[in-house]
Chains A and B, each alone.
Chain A
Amino acid sequence: MTITLKYFGQLAEVFETSEETRDLENINVTDLIKEISSGYDLDHIPYQIAVNQRIIDCNEQVNLNDGDTLALLPPFAGG
């Protein structure tokens, strides 16, 4: 299945892109996050996850379907 990933703010800078697609076998959100973040140090960047534009609870187990979009949203500080 194909999943679109969108990155914002500092995360777009860390991943050096604001959007990518990945072809994956059946996967849930937790495992996908593990996969995309391996090799990156994201410890200092808090973020929320949205599936198809809806922000999910961090304890929620969400399975992904073909065509889903996952967005990683960090808080911004500047004003």
Chain B
Amino acid sequence: MSNYQRQIILPEIGESGQKKLADTRILVVGAGGLGCALLPYLVGSGIGRIGIIDGDRVDPSNLHRQILYTPDSVGKYKVDEAKQFLLKQRPDIVIDTYSTYLTGLNARKIAEDYDVIVDATDRISSRYLINDTAVLCNKPIVYASIHRFEGQVSVFNYKNGPTYRCLFPKAAEVPNCAEAGVLGTSVGFIGLIQAQEVIKVILGIGDVLSGKLIMYNTLTANQQCFEFTKTERAEISQDFFEKSHMRQYVNTAGFNNNQPDAGTFIDVRELDELPRVNFNQLLEIPLLELNQKMNQLNKFETYYIFCQSGKRALSAAQQMYDAGFNYVTAITDGAEVIANHNN
């Protein structure tokens, strides 16, 4: 008997619905609280191929809610740990992993291989990037997000319907789970509403939440639905995409004497490059080791990055920005200038 017999006997699914699931490829952006909640159920439903993209490694503070990971996962890429779990659950599924962050440079190439995009990220800028990528690639997005005990769920760009920019036209960062706090059951609950929408979109059953925003409060069990329409202003072109997502993101500044009191410096030169610079708050992390050591840094701290000329600092700051660090400045002055100012 088929593993899927219990869902195939549902009149809304049947053999043809099961085939649709098997033929569908979905991309899950973010393997955090939402991703961990929805992935096992989507895998279990018989979806044929799942891509997971996330450049984060597992941190002990993730374990209370990101249920695909164990203490042994700490320090390892989330996507690799998630894949290992999900393949045990269903050895015949195809899982593609991308241990990197979605950026303006890689988003379209990755998204083109999938039929549905699941936005399970934890940053507003990623949500706009996913939105604009999906519009250009003509893919529906199933969206969810969390603030403390409240969740939002919607479906964007479904059959040319309204998008995230129609719902929230103004971009501004707001606190994520690391900043605001979250309970595992809340994010798990919202992640399962999101998973249900993915199945509805694939099968074309029920009322897909296109043009509808569900607000769910997990403390009061109160659910409200708000309607929104497509707006002309939110038109997304190739040119708009490049301007919004492919420009240099990071802050740059010359060295000034206020910086040493305002944050931590990171010297990304090799340890034998001279002159060495002394600050009270200084980390020495050669550029090549940055990716590996990034999980020891705090995403909400202010960092000033410098090197010998400013070039490596820019590249390091970009890597950190893409990894979710919000307050990173690349110093355009080289170490010699900084050492002269400082000593």
Cβ contact of A79, chosen from B35, B224, B227, cutoff 8 A:
B35
Query: Which of B33, B170, B175, B227 is in CB contact (< 8 Å) with A77?
Result: B175
Contact with A along B124-168 (1 / 0, CB 8 A): 100100000000000000001111101110000000000000011
B150 neighbours in A (Cβ, 8 Å): 8-9, 76
Question: Which of B34, B124, B226 contacts A75, CB < 8 Å?
Answer: B124
Q: A79 and B175: CB pair below 8 A?
A: no
Q: Which residues of B contact A14 (CB under 8 A)?
A: none
- Set B144, B169, B182, B215: member contacting A58, Cβ < 8 A: B169
B174 at the interface (CB under 8 A from A): yes
Quick one: which of B127, B168, B227 contacts A46, CB cutoff 8 A?
B168
B213 pairs with A73, CB closer than 8 A: yes
| B228 within 8 A of partner (CB) | yes
Which of A44, A48, A54 is the most central at the interface, judged by chain B CB atoms within 10 Å of its CB?
A48
Cβ-defined contact, B147 with A79, below 8 A: no
Q: What separation, in Å, do the CA atoms of A57 and B148 have in the docked complex? A: 27
Q: Which residues of B contact A46 (CB under 8 A)?
A: 168, 170-172, 174
CA distance A57 to B166 in the complex (A): 9
How large, as a class, is the contact surface on chain A? 20 to 34
Given known pairs A46-B174, A71-B224, the reply for A77 and B167 (CB within 8 Å) is: no
Q: How far is the CA of A6 from the CA of B146 in the complex (A)?
A: 18
Q: Is A1 in the interface zone, CB < 8 Å from B?
A: no
Bound complex: CA A10 to CA B34 (Å): 20
Q: Are A79 and B32 in contact (CB under 8 A)?
A: yes
Choose, from B18-26, B91-99, B115-123, B252-260, the stretch at the interface.
Answer: B115-123
Interface residue? B193 (CB, 8 A): no
Dominant SS among interface residues on chain B: mixed
Assess whether B187 is interfacial by the CB under 8 Å rule: yes
Q: Is the CB of B226 within 8 A of A54?
A: yes
Let me know if A27 is at the binding interface, CB within 8 A. no
Q: Chain A residues near B225: list those with CB within 8 A.
A: 53
Of listed A57, A71, A75, residue having the most chain B CB within 10 A: A75
Find out whether the CB atom of B224 lies under 8 angstroms from the CB atom of A77.
no
Q: Tell me whether B226 and A77 are in contact (CB under 8 A).
A: no
B271 on the A face (CB < 8 A): no
Q: Which of A19-78 contact B (CB under 8 A)?
A: 44-46, 48, 50, 53-55, 57-58, 71, 73-78
Among B173, B187, B224, find the residue whose CB has the most chain A CB atoms closer than 10 A.
B224
CB distance from B11 to the nearest CB of A (A): 31
> In the complex the two chains form, what is the Cα distance from A73 to B150 in whole Å?
11
Nearest chain B CB to A31's CB is how many angstroms away?
21
Instruction: Determine the chain A residues whose CB is within 8 A of the CB of B145 once the complex forms.
Output: 75-79
Least distance between B176 CB and chain A CB atoms (Å): 4
Q: 8 A-B Cβ contacts within 8 A?
A: A45-B174, A55-B226, A55-B227, A55-B228, A75-B168, A78-B180, A78-B182, A78-B187
